[in-house]
Structure 1
Amino acid sequence: MNSLLKFPCSLFILSLILTSCGESLEDEPSQLQGSLTEIDVASKGGTQTLDVSGNVAWTISLNADWVHADPSQGQGDARVTFTIDSNSAESARNTEARLVGGGIVRTVRISQAKYVPEFPAYHIPADQSGMRDISSLALAAEMGVGWNLGNSLEAIGGESAWGNPVVTKAFVDEVKAAGFTSVRIPVAWSKFTNATNFTIDPTWMNRVQEVVDYAIGNGMYVLLNNHWDEGWMQPTFAQQVYVNDRLEKMWIQIALHFRDYDDHLLFAGSNEVMVDGDYGVPKPEYYTVQNSFNQTFVDAVRSTGGRNAYRNLVVQAFNTNIDNAVSFFEMPSDPTEDRLMVEVHYYDPYEFALKEDEVITQWGKDATDPAKTASSGGESFADGQLQKMKVNFIDKGVPVLLGEYCATDKKAEDNDIYREDFLRYISKSARGHGLVPFYWDNGFAGDYGSALFNRTTGEQIYPDLVKAVVE
């Protein structure tokens, strides 16, 4: 009888135990925790890990596209990596990630700092004093008519190596008195004290500054460029890294030296960049690389800060050709709005403007001998080319400089009459289409020269041609 009583009791106790165990397995409360409640990251972005612990299935809920979670869902314990994109905005940003599962929500607040540029040691804060708050188009309109100090500071071997005398203030004053209000100064900068790191000789830098000051001192605008300089700017993939490195180092030095000048000084990154001897339509390689030169130039100058943060910069079409500008030019990105200009040149028809022979000596609608006149390149052609620059650039808010144009002296009978017609028409058409014209004067008044002035005395060699350009 005692054993029979014990047996039901044992079953009852076992039943209670099993029932209790079953209830524990079925009714265990949900658990979900995260190791973080806040994430703070710098503007450059980065990663942060979140350790998840729990006994339920969970997901990560995000409401910002600049935060990413991996994995974004799971079961029980896991490690989640948050990746935060860089912040390019000048304001901080905030969001939150939610860890959700088993009816539990855990919130992780995510904060990211605003973008703060990392500047090199030579950088100073942007300084707009002396830099007027006017559009690049408005400044270009003030530049008037320009003249090139050709074959002087870009002469290889020294300032007078190509036959011109040393530039004087008295001479530059005569150019101003003739009616020119801007001067383009071509420069060969490769006078180095250290050729391995492209350190420009300070004596040469100071000499260039003297000439710049001659023009700035009498109220002229100055376009300071990096000219041919023995042709080291070859736009090929093979030379791209070398050229961009050299270009950057040289322009940083130039920009630092002239950083305190006001907006009467403009920088132009290069000249007629092309592959030596290839005057055809450029290959994609060529114009892609040349466009990278323009970007390197802009970045180098802007990196110096100060007034250079607001300076008007001039970038070039491939070989400064109008058709190449329309087809292949890519405007560099610039942190400063509305401070870029584009440069092209005009020497059409080549047979009349530049070719060294006495065959094509007449030009335009008043030409009398078809045998002495180019088959194309007359007034309507010129208008059409300049209209391309107006439609594709000027009408879109981008000023255009006609950095060079001329018709050389062929010493043929009546050639000066047609040179005058050409210069008057191109100068007028350029201004009428909104371009700023810069006459190319190489200082040489002999056969195939383009001088308007005697560089020693300042006297006008061709007063009628000067008048045709500046009127």
Structure 2
Amino acid sequence: MQVSRLFPSYNTSPQAPDATGMSSSATELAAKIKLGWNIGNTMEAPAVTAWGNPAITEDYVKAVKQQGFNAIRIPCAWDWDWRKDYSWAGDNIHIEDYKTARIKSEWLNRVKEVVGYCVNNDMYVLLNIHYDGGWLEHNCKPEKVDSVSAKQKAYWEQIATAMRDFDEHLMFASANEPAVKTVEEMEALHTYHQTFINAVRSTGGRNSYRVLVVQGPGTNIEKSNDLMNMPSDEIEGRLMAEVHFYSPSQFCILTEDVSWGKMVYYWGKDYHSDIEPERNATYGEEDEVDQSFRLAKSKFVDKGIPVILGEYGTYRRGNSDNVPKELEKHNNSVDHWITYVTGKALENGLIPFWWDTGGLIDRSDYTVKDQRTLDAIMAGANQ
């Protein structure tokens, strides 16, 4: 595959392949990861502290590890077009020159520092290009393939070169949640994933063997089953797939009633409310969780392709105007969803990474803010 040269090549110092510290295949590496954690709303924010979280410290990484997680996903921004959308971000813009797609060395060094916090504490790390204003994720279209692939190549050559010396604890992920619904759009996304793989491998060194992660369409299990084929790789057995899970969305995501649906407070066949039945889940309960995860297992895991459940979560209401009438039953529903989904993911070979934006472990003093949620995650992991 030829990628248009809209930007200069950043693969300026390729190295001979180096297998030191890179012995694990994707399947072997997946077996070492028990529970994953997202450091959300931080390094992918327009400016690191813009969404209310402090900068990441090594003590925070240690706190996450202490609670029982041994992997961290770092959603990371590289190319928000802040010239248009976030001019107030000033020096936090991470691109030195948009015409050449050059990433600032200061930002590459800071990301490398945070990755080091994790690797130095024996944590596995998944580093991605996150939403970034949607330059890739909203442009999975034939007419955008050349320009988006060129940018994907330029960025990953730089990222991969900067992070090349880390051992197998570090994995790279091509994207976040690509907006893909059709075969045609999937073909474009497939091209972007192939560009990512080729760019990383071209830098050599340990990157010749690094495990790489590619995202399904919309990171949706059903769409992935219907539309996705894995890209090719020059080394066998070093790819993983990634999906996300927030189902039912009215229970997991909504914080207010909207035109297409009401918030759901009660989930699970034994947790429905008789007092406010309009707040009971009507889809996405235990049997559908089972069905979705079995689908991911048969599509990927059974074929030797590990699956990262890169984001999942549901969150408690009751601290705002939206207070369930049966608050304890609601909290029990949340606990049940977390435990059930965590357990079923692991049972089917999906590695769960909890999505956190500071609500579970305090980013400043590293204390646990929601012990029930943590206990529910661990209960699912220990089933």
TM-score range, shorter chain: 0.7 to 0.9
Contact 2:141 2:188 (8 Å CA) reproduced: yes
Which residue of 2 is the match for residue 403 of structure 1?
310
Residue 271 (structure 1) aligns with: 176
1:206 paired with 2:109, answer yes
1:390, 1:433 within 8 Å by CA — same for their partners in 2? yes
Q: Secondary structure at the match of 2:308?
A: strand
Residue in 1 that maps onto 2:141: 236
- Aligned with residue 239 of structure 2, among 331, 340, 343: 340
Q: Give the drift of 1:121.
A: 4.6
Task: State the 1:324 CA deviation.
Answer: 1.2
Q: Any conservation in 1 of the 2:243–2:310 contact (CA below 8 Å)?
A: yes
2:99 is matched with which residue? 196
The one-character-per-residue Cα deviations of 1:186-215 (angstroms, maximum 9, x if unpaired) are 000121111111111111111111111111
In the alignment, structure 1 residue 354 sits paired with structure 2 residue 250: no
Q: 1:357, 1:410 within 8 Å by CA — same for their partners in 2?
A: no
Once the two structures are superposed, what CA deviation does each residue of 1:335-362 show, in whole Å capped at 9, x if it has no partner?
Answer: 0110000000001101100012273111
Q: Which amino acid aligns with 2:266?
A: Q
8 Å contact 1:345–1:402 — kept in the other structure?
A: yes
* From 134, 148, 155, the counterpart of 2:45: 155
Which of 144, 151, 155 aligns to 1:250? It is: 155
Task: Point out 4+ residue stretches in structure 1 off by more than 4 angstroms.
Answer: none
Match of 1:142 in 2: 32
The residue identity in structure 2 corresponding to 1:262 is D
Selected match of 1:394 from 285, 301, 304: 301
The one-letter code matched in structure 1 to 2:194 is: Q
Whole-Å separation in 1 of the counterparts to 2:294 and 2:301: 10
Where do 1:40-79 residues align within 5 Å?
none
CA contact (8 A) 1:406 1:440 kept: yes
Tell me the secondary structure at the aligned position of residue 37 of structure 2: strand
Q: Which residue of 2 aligns with 1:430?
A: 345
Selected match of 1:129 from 8, 20, 37: 20
8 Å CA contact 1:180–1:470 kept in 2: the answer is: no
| Count of residues in correspondence between the two structures | 338
Alignment of structure 1 residues 436-451 onto 2, 5 Å? 436-443=351-358, 451=359
- For 1:374 and 1:404, locate their aligned partners in 2 and report how far apart those are by CA, in whole Å: 21
The RMSD of aligned alpha carbons is: 1.4
Aligned-pair distance for 1:467?
2.0
* Amino acid in structure 2 at the alignment position of 1:163: G
Shift of 1:120: 6.1
Distance 1:186 1:386 in 2: 23
> What secondary structure does 2:362 align onto?
coil
SS of 2:16's equivalent in the other structure is: strand
Deviation by residue 1:105-139 (Cα, 9 ceiling, x = unmatched)? xxxxxxxxxxxxxx96522111101112x331121
CA contact (8 A) 2:39 2:75 kept: yes
Q: Aligned letter for 1:179?
A: G
Match of 1:385 in 2: 292
Query: Counterpart amino acid of 1:372?
Result: R
2:162 is matched by which residue type in structure 1?
H
Cα deviation per residue 1:419-449 (whole Å; 9 max; x = unaligned)? Answer: 1111111000000111100000122xxxxxx
**TM-fit CA distance, 1:216:** 1.0
Say which SS state the counterpart of residue 356 (structure 2) adopts. coil
Letter in 2 for 1:219: D
Q: Which residue of 2 aligns with 1:456?
A: 364
Question: Match for residue 364 of structure 1?
Answer: 268
Aligned equivalents of 2:232, 2:65: Cα separation in 1: 34
Instruction: Say whether 1:325 aligns with 2:232.
Output: no
How far 1:470 sits from its partner (Å)?
2.9
TM-score, normalised relative to structure 2: 0.86
User: Distance between the aligned counterparts of 2:256 and 2:283, measured in 1?
Assistant: 17
> Residue 299 in 1 paired to residue 203 in 2?
no
Q: Answer yes or no: is the 8 Å Cα contact 2:265–2:279 preserved in 1.
A: yes
Question: Structure 1: how far apart are the matches of 2:103 and 2:141?
Answer: 25
Gaps of 5+ in 2: 1-9, 80-93, 258-262
For 1:267, give the aligned amino acid.
F
Instruction: Determine if contact 2:39/2:357 at 8 Å carries over to the other structure.
Output: yes
Note if contact 1:266-1:314 (Cα within 8 Å) is conserved in structure 2.
yes
Tell me which residue corresponds to 2:71: 182
For 1:414-425, what aligned pairs fall within 5 Å after superposition? Answer: 414=328, 415-425=330-340
> Are the counterparts in 1 of residues 168 and 211 from structure 2 also a CA contact under 8 Å?
yes
Q: Output one character per residue of 1:130-187: Cα deviation in whole Å (capped at 9) or x when no partner.
A: 112x33112101111001000000001x100011111111111111100011000000
TM-aligned CA deviation for residue 319 of structure 1:
1.0
Instruction: List runs of 5+ in structure 1 lacking aligned partners.
Output: 1-118, 276-281, 444-450
Sequence identity (%):
39
Q: Distance in 2 between matches of 1:194 and 1:121?
A: 18
